[in-house]
Structures are given as C-alpha cells and as structure tokens.
Structure 1
C-alpha cells in the first residue's frame, strides 16, 4: 500500500510545507517510514482501521485490473470489519483489551465464529437482530475456496454487497457508539505509535481515501466510492511531477533569501 505525504521536519524548519512530494509504502503495521531529500527521517502513522486499508487495497487492485486480488481484499475487509465492530461493542461494555484479546484468539482463524460473535453482540448492544446478506458468503466462497477468477462486473457486485453492509453498520456505530468507536481508533493509533523509535519525528495521517470512519459522510454505494477514489488518485499522483518542480523553486527561493554565511 502507498501513501502520499510530505516531510514534517521540513515544515518545522521552513514554517511552511516544502511541497516535496513523497510516496511511501506501508504494510501490516500501517506505518510509513520516509526520508526527504534533506535527509530528514520520520514516520507517518495511519489511523485507518484494517478493514479500511483492505477496502482501499481492493479498489486499487480493481482499478489496475486484478479482479481476483480485488475480490480477495474485499472478502478480508468484510471479515476485519466485524472484528472492528466487536471491538466497539466490547468498549460499550467496558471489556478490557487484555480480556478481549484472550477471547478473540480462540476465534481469530474462524471467520464464521467471528461473525457469530458480532451477531450476538449486536443483539446485546442494540436489542434487535441483525440479518446478514446471504449472497456475500456465496460469492466470497466461490473466489476464496474454489479459485474462481471473477470479471470486473462480478467484483463490483460483490463490492456493492460488502460496501452496503459495512456502510450501514458503521453509520449505526457512528450514530450510537461514537465515543466507543473513537476509543478503538485511539487504541489502534497508540499501538502503532509504540512501534516507532522514540527519537523519530512522527505525524498522524487520517489514512485511506476510499472509505474512512473519520469522514463525516462516505459515498452511498461502492461504484460511487470507486469513481471518486479513482479520480482523487489520478489527481494526487498526477500532481507529483509539478510538486517536484515547485518544491525545487521553493528551495531555491528560500536559499536566496537566507543570510549569507
């Protein structure tokens, strides 16, 4: 996965952005370690939840034409979303992080049990039953367990089903459990922060563009989200050559204004 960023150390020195574009890779820990042309090293910490990262990974794969990878990432995002929701529900009932982790270990490799846990916690928290979309596991299993390579249209259909499930539940959580949701996000950020060397400069990024819990409102359906993300991605990466030229001009202007030694 990749993130677009700029050097925070340069901004501190200059009092304004350097405008030097940096495209950095990040992986499981959602941490990107960067180095600008001045040699400043720093860490960018994403606050995105795992399911948000996987949704964006699916969007990238679909845009690039990798339908099997897109469907696989969508399926993983679906499962990790239930893990996120379980975390929020447990926050509502003051379950400690240690107790939750110890319990979750027993179902961590069994997605059906995780979904079962979500269903009963949803019942406990909201007092009503939640009905899952039965089409999702049927389409998912065909790809994951039978090795079926879907067409782009089939991925979009799967994406729409998963997106609507995630959107409706996340909106319910944001409306009723906003404080608990923010605690889960803060816990995620803190855990990632602890993995950064103590003396390294760091900055936090809201993270993903395709779907974001911190956004006031996400797109209403998968195709809208995909089109919006594709446009934003093209504009962002298309700006890189121009930003590089502009950053060099800024650096030259800054050097000319600096007092002679």
Structure 2
C-alpha cells in the first residue's frame, strides 16, 4: 500500500506544504515513512491508524485493483488483528497490567484458533451477546484461498469482504462506546509514540497521515456496503496519481 507523504519541515518553515515533494511511498510495517525533500529536509511521516484499519484499507484497494486473492488474505489478517485490538482494549479498560497481557498474548499469538476463542469469550462477557462469526461458506473460501491457492473472482472477494465487514461492525460498535474511550486514547498515544521513536532519536520533524479504509465508524454507520466503498476508491485518484500531479 502507498501513502501520500509531505515534508513537515517545509510546512513548519514556510507555512504551506512543499508541493514538489509530495510522494507516494510504500507503507512499511512499522507505519513510519522517512522522506527527504528537494530542499534537503528529512521528515518522518507517521500513519495514525490501527493495524486492522491499514489492512482493511489494503484489502479494499486490492479489490479496486483486481487483486482478489490478495484482498481475501488482507481482510482475513485485518479481522484477526481486530480481535487482538478488542482483547487488548478491554484489558486496558479493566486496567490489567500490560506486561501480563503481553505474556498471555505470547502464548496464543501463533495459534489463531486460541486467539479466536479468547476473543469470543471476552466479547460475550462484555456485551452479554454471542459474537456472530464468519459464515461457514466464507470460512471455506478463506481456507481455499490461503491453503489451496485458489484464485478467487471479484464477486467472491467482495462477498468475503462484506462478510468480514459485517463481523467487524459488531466489534467496532462496541469499542466505540464511551466506557472504552479513555483506554482507546491511551492505546493510540502509545502506538504513535512507538512509531515516532526513530524520528525522535534522529532529531527529525514528523507529520501524521491516515489511510482511507472501510472500517471508519462513521462510514460503516452511514453505508453498510463494501461494494460502494470500493466504487469510491475506483473513482478517486490514487496516492500515486495525486503525487504525480505535483511533479
């Protein structure tokens, strides 16, 4: 996935963006992109979004760009990271020690079924309602893509992505509740601090950006259609196209 980067030093010095240094950079796993503009300034651009949000954005972009198999894999990873986010958020809200939570996670992080079981139990405890998982047909499709090398169609990728969207909406409605707001803010602050670590060590200015993804609460509440979101992606210019406008 590409993100649109800019020079934070130019913005600070001149009060306006340096349009000539707009660039679409491939997003690294740590969510921090280092760039050098035409004036020699080095800047780190930090992506603010959670990992599950970034992966959902990648999955939707995959459908828009006809990479249907990749979309299924990215939606799968997004949902699994959303389970982890939910578990960590609830434990943070309950003020459990982070070191103990990390110790628990290390025991299950390579076993997706155990992660899912932990999530299902905690979801029922928190909401009083059982979580509705992916339909068996979509689980079967995921397994065929992941393990049998199935090259799925656009309609299959959209149907799978919509099923993941439906699952994610159950969780996102819960985590946006007021009682989790403080825990969510503290987790976001820690995430940004981790991504800023190298910038601070090198004494670099930084800026922040966000990925356009289908798991925004407001978007999900307004329009429950993944296909509509993908259509919007196709209609809007990509970050590479936007960067090229200023070259």
Normalised by the length of structure 2, the TM-score is: 0.89
Cα distance in structure 1, aligned partners of 2:161 and 2:219 = 18
Secondary structure of the corresponding residue to residue 108 of structure 2: coil
Q: Are the equivalent residues in 1 in contact too, given 2:132–2:167 (CA < 8 A)? A: no
* 1:185 corresponds to 2:188: yes
Match of 2:10 in 1: 10
Q: Which runs of 5+ in 1 are unaligned?
A: 245-261
Whether the 8 Å CA contact 2:72–2:157 is kept in 1: the answer is yes
The range that moved more, 139-148 or 34-43, is 139-148
Give, in angstroms, the shift of residue 232 of structure 1.
2.9
1:210-225 to structure 2, matched below 5 A, reads 210-211=213-214, 213=216, 216-218=218-220, 219-225=223-229
How far 1:143 sits from its partner (Å)? Answer: 1.1
Alignment-derived partner of residue 32 in structure 2: 31
Q: Which residue does 2:236 correspond to in 1?
A: 232
Q: How does 1:45-60 map to 2 (within 5 A)?
A: 45-60=46-61
CA distance in 1, matches of 2:27, 2:145: 26
Go from structure 1 to structure 2 and tell me whether the alpha carbon gap of 1:242 and 1:208 turns closer, same or farther (over 3 Å shift). Answer: closer
- Compare the two structures and name the one with the higher helix fraction: 2
Give the distance between the partners of 1:230 and 1:97, measured in 2 at CA: 41
Name the counterpart of 2:166.
164
Alignment correspondent of 1:19: 19
CA RMSD for the aligned pairs?
Answer: 1.9
Greater RCO, 1 or 2 (C-alpha within 8 Å, sep 6+): 2
What is the CA–CA distance in structure 2 between the aligned matches of 1:49 and 1:11, rounded to whole Å? 26
| Cα pair 1:89 1:122 within 8 Å, conserved | no
Q: Tell me, yes or no, if the aligned pair for 2:54 and 2:211 is still in contact at 8 Å.
A: yes
8 A contact 1:164–1:221 mirrored in 2: no
After superposition, the Cα gap between the structure-2 partners of 1:72 and 1:212, relative to the gap in structure 1 and judged at 3 Å, is: closer
Q: Distance in 2 between matches of 1:115 and 1:194?
A: 31
Deviation of 1:197 after TM superposition, in Å, equals: 4.5
Of 132-141 and 154-163, the range deviating more from structure 2: 132-141
Distance in 2 of aligned mates of 1:232 and 1:185: 28
| Residue number in structure 2 paired with 1:249 | none
- TM score, norm. by length of structure 1: 0.85
The answer as to 2:45 corresponding to 1:41 is: no
Give 3-state SS (helix, strand or coil) of 1:194's partner: helix
In structure 2, do the counterparts of structure 1 residues 100 and 195 end up closer, same or farther at CA, with 3 Å as the change threshold? farther
Shift of 1:182: 2.3
Per the alignment, residue 242 of structure 1 pairs with 245
Shift of 1:130: 1.9
Alpha-carbon deviation of 1:86? Answer: 0.9
Tell me which residue corresponds to 2:205: 201
> Deviations 1:25-68 (Å, cap 9, x if unpaired)?
22110111111111111101111111111112212222222221
Q: CA deviation at 1:237?
A: 4.0
Question: Which of the two has higher C-alpha Rg?
Answer: 1
Aligned residues: 241
Kindly state the Cα deviation for residue 212 of structure 1 after the two structures are TM-superposed: 5.0
